Structure 1
């Protein structure tokens, strides 16, 4: 099932995308008043069966007639992110001159975790505002959405805590990332976390390692990788974070980006006004955004 947050001349609502992808069913009548996708995920044991059985009976609006927002426009807390989680990207970042020398090892032996501010989130089709950077970069990432929260989650049990998946573009101000010698600030400018277009339930995705990710800029392929190439897979990331921190329903874990980001080219190929970045992941659709 594909859930969306959409608007069509009214306040944002929760929708379910039709099986053929052409329409959005407004499922507001099936949910408690004021429900968001975040609330639906938190009450999935009760609401999931209702949506599966009755969503197709609700009013259907053509997909092109509605405005999609990020499926979780206001996460309950910062997005969990992972640095250098593909071998080739770790290498390109290490030799770019943008990494902190103490962290420039080619392959990390533990997941490199950081977060991205909730206020950075924006939706599919939204403009990305560069803000105070002249070195704007893209990072296409598969993102896991936690369903059942918990602490001390084992690798073996991790997938039972995954509600589903979405796509995030971990837009980055590289000069700010470099100059401040940490990643939070350079990753958290407003509009620098495009998300969507859908939140897709895990049962619809199946084997995550069989998925493929592609990023294009103005139609030119820049990134391509199978998700099996992750250094630290989804279960490892969940186990790492939850070892000492309680994960909550709706938490987002962006799993890292493959090689091919702008700083990896010689000279770097940063984004400029008018560029269109499109990120596609098997089964999750395409997240498209233009640079203001």
Structure 2
């Protein structure tokens, strides 16, 4: 796969035309797109010729201002979201379980994909009933080229880039079953974005720092060097016997600090804002939750 021609991409609706969806690179290399938009600042983008991060094209010379930022990928491009459970040492200690010997894999459907704020993130009726909505700040890996049976040594060749994700979960449903897909696959339960940072911008994802905040209070803070299974190991593992198509989103686990592990427990409720911030380069995924009706 040829190296991407960008460092950071956003998919967005421009202020000039609400009927368009465009792709481009923020003009400022340092702007935190999520925070800037929340604060009402203008974010100017150098527009690319492509319509998908999987084929971004090249700079057109056109500039546009973001009206509404979208997830880097459309749900039609994703297929499935591959999810890794229990992949941080601190999180395993928090929930008092032994470190796993092999990765735990579950899946979310493409209907779980969701946009950053200003799109609202729904809390399903089931989650509201038991007050069991929970957050999980995660690094998402975006696959740029289809692969299968790849080695750890070659796995990173298939990575397009990285973004932020929130693995929104319904804990009552999760703990009532041995399988996690039902409790984590509700519509909109995997917001990602807003920025896709290329592999060239982040040559070593283990150096990233991740932080999760609810209504301004930091609840999760950890380096990616706390991962139990590295990203090359995860990619190799999930590809054994399984084709991983381009566009697949892989979320890599959450660190300590989830709501269910706190005393008293912390839950997501209508009107709550949750931020997943990954530095450097990726910035802040902001989501505001509202009750499904």
- Shared fold by TM > 0.5? yes
Contact kept, 8 Å, 2:140 with 2:163, in 1: the verdict is yes
Q: Quick check: 1:243 aligned with 2:234?
A: no
CA positional deviation for 1:190: 1.2
Residue aligning to 2:45 = 24
Residue aligning to 2:62 = 59
Q: Quick check: 1:202 aligned with 2:199?
A: yes
Richer in strand (by share): 2
- Deviation track 1:64-85 (CA, whole Å, cap 9, x = no partner) reads xx21111112143110100000
Q: 1:1-292 alignment to 2 at 5 Å?
A: 1-8=7-14, 9-20=18-29, 21=31, 22-27=43-48, 30-31=49-50, 35-38=51-54, 40=55, 47=57, 51=58, 55=59, 57-63=60-66, 66-74=67-75, 75-94=77-96, 105-125=97-117, 126-131=119-124, 132-133=126-127, 134-282=131-279, 283-292=281-290
CA positional deviation for 1:175: 1.0
CA positional deviation for 1:174: 0.7
Richer in helix (by share): 1
How many residues get paired? 262
Structure 1 residue runs of 4 or more that deviate by more than 3 Å after TM superposition: 19-22
Contact kept, 8 Å, 2:78 with 2:249, in 1: the verdict is no
CA positional deviation for 1:108: 0.7
Q: Output the CA distance in 2 between the equivalents of 1:135 and 1:153.
A: 38
Contact kept, 8 Å, 2:212 with 2:220, in 1: the verdict is yes
Contact kept, 8 Å, 1:127 with 1:191, in 2: the verdict is no
Give RMSD over aligned pairs.
1.5
Q: Which stretches in structure 2 are left out of the alignment for 5+ residues? A: 1-6, 32-42
Q: Output the CA distance in 2 between the equivalents of 1:182 and 1:106.
A: 18
State the secondary structure of the residue aligned to 2:193: coil
What is the TM-score of this pair, normalised by structure 2? 0.85
Q: Output the CA distance in 2 between the equivalents of 1:71 and 1:206.
A: 20
CA positional deviation for 1:92: 2.5
Q: Output the CA distance in 1 between the equivalents of 2:184 and 2:93.
A: 20
Q: Output the CA distance in 1 between the equivalents of 2:173 and 2:240.
A: 30
- Deviation track 1:112-164 (CA, whole Å, cap 9, x = no partner) reads 00011211111110211111212000001011111222111111111111111
Contact kept, 8 Å, 1:73 with 1:123, in 2: the verdict is no
CA positional deviation for 1:249: 1.4
